[in-house]
Amino acid sequence: MAALGTPSGTIEILKKYNFSFQKRYGQNFLIDTNILDKIVEASAITEKDCVLEIGPGIGTMTQYLARNAREVIAVEIDKMLIPVLQDTLSEYQNVTVINEDILKLDIGRIVEERNGGHPIKVVANLPYYITTPIIMGLLESHVPVESITIMVQKEVADRMQTGPGTKDYGALSLAVQYYAKPEVVTQVSPACFMPKPKVGSTVVKLTVHGQPPVEAKDEKHMFALIRASFNQRRKTLANGLANASGLGLTREKVVSALETMGLQPTVRGEALTLEEFSALSNLLKADSFRKV
């Protein structure tokens, strides 16, 4: 069999199994060995590591990971790919394939059973339509994860690392930066995939923080504020938060907190840093407790 990370190797295995790409799963298989090498190098996997791979496809990246890691848990949603993976990974004794939806999988249990509760490393070529739910699911669940090295749509990578005052800045930027340090590994052309996606891709490594860079007394409250702030980007922060259902805030209360922080009542959410959102959340939380 030709190497999987090449056009000929990929075509050979697809023809062998008469495989049809499933649009609903957003399937695009990597066919560039240089990109595969860069992903493995960036993920810094050693023979001590347990790796969770999301979306192994035909096993191209899985083979690379298996050669470097102690153990690889590959989670694939498409049952049509399971026989393919059994074939392409047959020589690797350290790979377990799970036919499951990653959003429904108890990753914490897997980490406990396969890695004694110690942090795992995640590697993924994510379907673009569920990139954000998967990343946030991993980060918000507080499952022990050391790093997440992922292929994402270029614009998502831009949103992950940008700061206040830019059009890409939003809830995803703040959430990723609260939980991890994002860094771009490499840009990836559509020509590196089969079939070619319509957009450019970026490999990003998220190194998970041991401790968040800011102290939020109530994480859920802070992120509820952040989401409400960007749901209505054109509104001032005071008006946006006062109109948000579920927060129970008045405009006066928000203005008072902003003034305490030295910010104008007309400020918009896109102007606030992570530190400022944390401080605002802490102030509003303390204020609400006093008035109960």
CATH (domain of 69): 3.40.50.150
If asked whether residues 273 and 131 sit together in one domain, one would say: no
- Note whether 252 and 271 are within 8 A (CB): no
Residue 234 sits in the same domain as residue 96: no
- 214 inside domain: no
112 and 244 share one domain: no
Q: Does the residue 114 lie in any domain?
A: yes
Report whether 135 contacts 119 (CB < 8 A): no
- Does residue 176 form part of some domain? yes
User: H-type helices in the chain, by residue range?
Assistant: 7-16, 33-43, 60-68, 82-88, 107-115, 131-140, 154-161, 171-179, 219-231, 237-243, 251-260, 274-290
Same domain, 193 and 75: yes
Taking alpha carbons only, the member of 82, 65, 90 closest to residue 1 is: 90
Residue 213 lies in a domain: no
Domain around 45? 7-208
Q: Does residue 1 fall inside a structural domain? A: no
- In a domain, residue 98? The reply is yes
Residues 88 and 114 in one domain: yes
- Cβ neighbours, 10 Å, residue 46: 10
Q: Quote the CA–CA distance of 242 and 182 in Å, as a whole number.
A: 32
Pairing between β-strand 50-54 and β-strand 180-188 as defined by DSSP bridges? unpaired
Asked whether residue 2 is assigned to any structural domain, the reply reads no
Note whether 144 and 235 are same-domain residues.
no
pLDDT of residue 191: 95
- What is the structure's pLDDT at 289? 42
| Nearest residue to 122 via CA among 72, 63, 79 | 72
CA–CA dist 70, 174 (Å, integer)? 33
pTM score, two decimals?
Answer: 0.91
* One domain for residues 164 and 39: yes
Residues 6 or more apart whose CB falls under 8 angstroms from that of 173 comprise 159, 160, 161, 162, 163
pLDDT at 56: 95
On whether both 125 and 228 belong to a single domain, the answer is no
Last residue of a domain, one of 155, 174, 208: 208
**What gap in Å lies between CA 61 and CA 45, rounded to an integer?**
13
Domain final residue pick, 163, 184, 208: 208
Is 192 in the same domain as 272?
no
- Which of 208, 235, 255 is the last residue before a domain boundary? 208
Residues 6+ apart with CB under 8 A from 125: 28, 30, 55, 57, 61, 150, 151
pLDDT of amino acid 44: 97
* Number of folded domains that form the chain: 2
Task: Output the pLDDT for position 2.
Answer: 54
Is residue 202 domain-resident?
yes
Q: Are residues 129 and 263 in the same domain?
A: no
User: What pLDDT sits at residue 42?
Assistant: 97
Q: Which residue has tokens 């890691």?
A: 69
Mode of pairing for the β-strands spanning 71-76 and 145-153: unpaired
Tens of each residue's pLDDT in the chain, 292 residues: 557 889 999 999 989 988 887 777 778 889 999 999 999 999 999 999 999 999 999 999 999 999 999 999 999 999 999 999 999 999 999 999 999 999 999 999 999 999 999 999 999 988 778 888 999 999 988 899 999 999 999 999 999 999 998 889 999 999 999 999 999 999 999 999 998 988 899 999 999 999 999 999 999 999 999 999 998 778 899 999 998 888 999 999 999 999 999 999 999 999 999 999 999 999 998 765 444 3
Q: Which residues contact 268 (CB under 8 A, 6 or more apart)?
A: 229, 233, 235, 236, 237
